[in-house]
Structure 1
Amino acid sequence: MSRLDGVTTGGSERAAGTRWWWGTLRDDLWTTKVDPLPPSTWLRWLPHGIVFLAALGVLLGDAAQLGDNGGLDGEFAFLVALGHSGAMVLALWRPVPAWWLSLAAMLVGAAAVRAVMDDGYKFTWPWTAAGLIAHLFVLLLLALRVRTRVSLEALGLTALVTYVVQGLVGARNYQPTGQVAVVLFAVVVVLGIALRGRREARTQLAEQTSLTAEERARRTLLEERSRIARELHDVVAHHMSVISIQAQVAPHLVENPSDELKENLEGIRENALEALTELRRVLGVLRSETPDVPGTTPDRGGTAPHAPQPTLDRLGALVENTRAAGLTVTVEQEGRRRTLPPGVELSAYRIVQEALSNVLRHAPGATARVRLVHLPIGLRVDVTNTRPTRIPAPSQGAGHGLLGMRERAAMLDGSLRAERLPDGGYLVSAFLPTDGDPDRPTDDSPHDAAHDIPHHSTHHSTHHSPEDRTP
């Protein structure tokens, strides 16, 4: 490469760098973007009120200084002062145009005073006292809302213009304010940048906290749904096993079954076995404990891997275990009891179980009442408790008992309501719709469930973590 080529390449790079610098400066400072000052946390319009009062003081003080001491006409001095004060108010919404206006007001005022300045009086120049205060406000409001680079560019251009006016142009018999002004401007810009960084850090922290809470809620929801899926798997797997066994036994119950019947029953059995295999494969994934994987929680529900899922037939044992824990519980049933779908039985049992567990944790000394209402279109479950007589112990945990109950009700297209009662107690009310035949009652009569069901001593597991009972 020749020396001429090197000079040409270096000149092109410098020209490109100059164009980039100029384009960046133009994009940053040649804009009329609206950027309103946010309201105060304590008193909403406090910052705006302070700026308006300061602008009024700058208007009166600058007009008097320019007119009485600067030798300008009253109308012209008022216009220059209006430029400084108007820049302060404009900076509340458009900080960059306000900075240009304040700088222009300084140049106009300095030029006008220089033209009429005599040797008999030393005037503060090029920045008047009121103009200096106005530009400090403008730079502070600018630094609070724009990027650091833009604030430093505005500070640099302000210092450059001040140096050119005072150092290169100059005037006769004046008190220089350029050095003091630049130092104060730098202090104000640094303060504004620091406050803006603190505000952005607090905003980011609040956003991160919100995201963390949302992620925790999402993880809790997934855990609850996984637990519900594991329990429902046991119910479905039981019925699939029954279908397979019935399809295998059916040909032996008929004399001389046809080949078509045998083939169809064999197909039913194979499909049931295949579905059962797939269910067990899914269950293996859901029940696998992965404590070393981030974001996962081991199953600590206490349920054996192949334990039968509870139904309302075990409600008596649940109530007896709760009474043994020190809680007074009464059970009522209304309506004609009938056979319910397994999902409804399981969900109703778990809702009662979780509600009673919440009473034990959050309402010590209270009494609870479980009310089951058998309706033609579904089952209503109400669990209420009275006001606690003792202060509950602090509970720690994820707090997703109500979430699990709501998920169970929503899974069945039902609804759940949890609310505090006027007397200080608490109510959990769920409606679980059914599609069964309302005219098919069971052999049991609708009397107290505690006497309707054998009171065996099987210990129930709660699967719950402590929670805030506020819905």
Structure 2
Amino acid sequence: MAERVAGWLRTALRVLRADLWTTAVSPPPRTEPAAAAERSRLREWLPALVVPVVLGLAALQIAATNQYAFGYGMGMRIAALLTALQTAAFLIALVRPVLAWWIMTVAMVVVARYAIVSSGSDAGAMFPWTGTGLVLQATVLFAVALRCRPRIAVETLVISVLVGLGYGFLGDTEGVPFAVLVLTLPVGAGVALRGRRVARTELAAQEELTAEERARRVLLQERTRIARELHDVVAHHMSVISIQAQVAPHLVRDPPAELKENLAGIRASAVEALTELRRVLGVLRADDPSPGAAALRPHDVRHAPQPTLDRLGELAAAVRRAGVDAGIRTTGEPYPLPPGIELSAYRIVQEALSNVARHAPGARALVEIGYHPAGLTVRVTNTAPERAAPPWAGAGHGLLGMRERAAMLGGELATGTTPDGGYEVTAILPAAAPVPAAPASPAIPDGEDTP
């Protein structure tokens, strides 16, 4: 039993040494926005607090110096030095609360010893805390509880109370319960405030992590939806390759066996690729169509062919039925575009018009399709809404999908408000215009020289 108690004591001493024989602090973790906000509030309030704090410390120092010098018989030099140490501890508590607590505890012991020696049996003078010392001690303990771990706050409080009780029992114990209460309340308040800050910080970190996970999930969903739609484009090309490889031997009279073998291998590879694409589609395709803009998709997107820019008229008609005045304008000379670019351009227009219908009631929309030698420009603008939009409970990641489509093609997407209060979505999708064929050279009759 004695060995067990001795082991507990050694463990307790090691813990106390690790906790109190240090000047380090362990403030609760904070997110960067919270830390920036705290620094901003400190810069805002610091000039207004300088004068009251300085005046208060000066008043406390004068009162404590007079009490120490004349009440306890320390003399002005020792009283001024002790008061200066206590005032310094008050300031040090802002950055090194444990060190400040040590200074205050040593000062309390010195004051109590002078009270015993100089006052004899005077009970009032033998009380270990003066009024000023009690206020400063409580302030330092509050700083310890606010900036250090709760265990350290409890340890400093217990040691302070035990030291005070030890000196208090040598004289009058009447004021000791009041002093214990004055010291305990700041520690409890500091621990509670620290716990609240820790909880809020953890909640903010969890919300930030949840937002990141949600954004990552939305991004993956958009990429999966784009991959599902591009599957049809790739499958169409593979089907064409398979059919042409099957028909090609019949277009040649007496085709060589090597040609037939190579074409058969091409067709077999195309059929195998189509089979793998169907398996990939089975993994990517969801049971239900993708959410968003349901009113603008009159056909089941799971089975309907992928749309092209030729169907923008149908899309505009659907938008008008939904209550949005939409127009379409085409500039430049249209030329054939790759299916992937046409599909992405159509989806960008569709999502932009869906946003107009959801977030800009009563606004007029204009879709501009510009054909250029270097690519295609898609621009969707709308005027300012006539009334406030109703609350929308959707996922709200239409812009993310548009950016993904533009980035997939090596293009760019820009969004923003217009000067008249409307909104604009502009996408630039690179595509090479077909080069016109050169005119055939005239035949030169035999026997004639070229010029």
TM-score, normalised with respect to structure 2: 0.86
Q: Secondary structure at the match of 2:302?
A: coil
Match of 1:18 among 9, 19, 22: 9
Q: Deviations over 1:353-391 (max 9, x none)?
A: 111111112112211111111122211111111111222
Shift of 1:408: 0.8
Per the TM alignment, residue 211 of structure 1 is displaced from its structure 2 partner at its CA by 2.0
Ranges in structure 2 where 5+ consecutive residues have no aligned partner: 29-34, 438-451
Contact in 1 for aligned 2:375/2:433 (Cα 8 Å) = no
CA contact (8 A) 1:58 1:133 kept: no
Instruction: Note the 1:295-310 alignment, pairs <5 A.
Output: 299-300=290-291, 303-310=300-307
CA distance in 1, matches of 2:282, 2:323: 37
Q: What pairs with 1:59-70 in structure 2 (closer than 5 Å)?
A: 59-70=61-72
Report what 1:138 is aligned to: 140
How many residues are aligned here?
Answer: 420
Letter in 2 for 1:161: V
1:429 and 2:406 are equivalent in the alignment: no
**Residue deviations 1:394-452, cap 9 Å, x none?**
22211111111111111112111110111111110111112x344259xxxxxxxxxxx
- Superposed CA deviations along residues 13-45 of structure 1, whole A, max 9, x for unmatched, are 444433322211111111111457978589425
The equivalent residue for 1:155 is: 157
Match of 1:197 among 195, 198, 207: 195
1:87-125 CA-to-partner distances (Å, cap 9, x unmatched) read 111111111111111101111222233332256794262
Structure 1, 348-357 or 67-76: larger mean CA deviation = 67-76
- Taking the aligned partners of 1:181 and 1:298, their CA distance within structure 2 comes to 71
| Residue 418 to residue 311, structure 1, CA distance change in 2 (3 Å) | same
Identity of matched residues, %: 50
Structure 1 or 2: larger helix share?
A: 2
2:29 counterpart of 1:29: no
More displaced 10-residue stretch of structure 1: 376-385 or 156-165: 156-165
Secondary structure in 2 matching 1:125: coil
- Aligned in 2, Cα 1:60/1:43: closer, same or farther, shift over 3 Å? farther
Structure 1 pair 288–351 and aligned structure 2 pair: CA distance change class (3 A):
closer
* Conserved 8 A contact 1:55-1:134: no
Task: Tell me the equivalent position of 2:81.
Answer: 79
Structure 1 CA distance, aligned partners of 2:206 and 2:424? 34
Partner secondary structure for residue 417 of structure 1 = strand
| Distance in structure 1 (CA, Å) of the matches to 2:176 and 2:75 | 24
CA distance in 2, matches of 1:80, 1:440: 97
Equivalent of residue 314 in structure 2, options 314, 317, 330: 317
Q: How much has 1:316 moved relative to structure 2? A: 1.6
CA contact (8 A) 1:122 1:175 kept: no
Q: Does 1:369 align with 2:366?
A: yes
Partner-residue secondary structure (3-state), 2:42: coil
2:441 match? none
**How far apart, CA to CA, are the structure 2 residues paired with 1:304 and 1:387?**
31
Please state how far the C-alpha of 1:274 moved relative to its aligned partner. Answer: 1.6
User: How do 1:242-391 and structure 2 match up within 5 A?
Assistant: 242-289=240-287, 299-300=290-291, 303-391=300-388
Give the secondary-structure state (helix, strand or coil) at the position aligned to 1:131: helix
Residue aligning to 1:401: 398
TM-aligned CA deviation for residue 178 of structure 1: 3.4
* C-alpha distance in structure 2 between counterparts of 1:146 and 1:175, whole Å: 31
Counterpart CA distance in 2 for 1:19 and 1:36 is: 28
Quick one: structure 1 residues 24 and 225, their matched pair in 2 at CA, closer, same or farther if it must change by over 3 Å? Answer: same
Instruction: Choose which of 109, 112, 120 in structure 2 pairs with 1:110.
Output: 112
Change (3 A) 1:240 1:115: same
Aligned partners of 2:60 and 2:251: how far apart in 1? 105
Equivalent residue, structure 1, for 2:208: 210
1:272–1:178 CA distance, 2 compared to 1 (3 A) = same
Counterparts of 1:233 and 1:95 in 2: how far apart (Å)? 65
Match of 1:240 in 2: 238
Report the Cα distance in structure 1 between the residues aligned to 2:235 and 2:60, rounded to whole angstroms.
83
Pick which of 47-56 and 317-326 moved more.
47-56
Distance 1:407 1:56, change over 3 A: farther
Displacement after TM superposition at 1:247 (Å): 0.9
What letter corresponds to residue 25 of structure 1 in structure 2?
A: L
Query: What stretches of structure 1 of length at least 5 have no aligned partner?
Result: 1-9, 290-296, 442-471
Q: Give the Cα–Cα distance (whole angstroms) in 2 for the partners of residues 299 and 369 of structure 1.
A: 25
The offset of 1:299, in angstroms, is: 4.2
CA shift in 2, pair 1:51/1:264, >3 Å: farther
Distance 2:123 2:162 in 1: 27
Measure the CA separation in 1 of the matches of 2:252 and 2:363. Answer: 60
- 1: CA distance, partners of 2:58 / 2:434: 80
Could you tell me how far 1:266 is from its partner in structure 2?
Answer: 1.3
* C-alpha separation in 2, matches of 1:393 and 1:440: 51
Against the structure 1 CA distance between its residues 415 and 42, is the aligned structure 2 distance closer, same or farther, given a 3 Å change threshold?
Answer: closer
Counterpart of 1:204 in structure 2: which amino acid?
E
Shift in Å, 1:189 = 1.3
Over residues 215-250 of structure 1, what are the superposed CA-to-partner deviations in whole Å (9 max), with x where a residue is unaligned? Answer: 222221111111111001111111111111111111
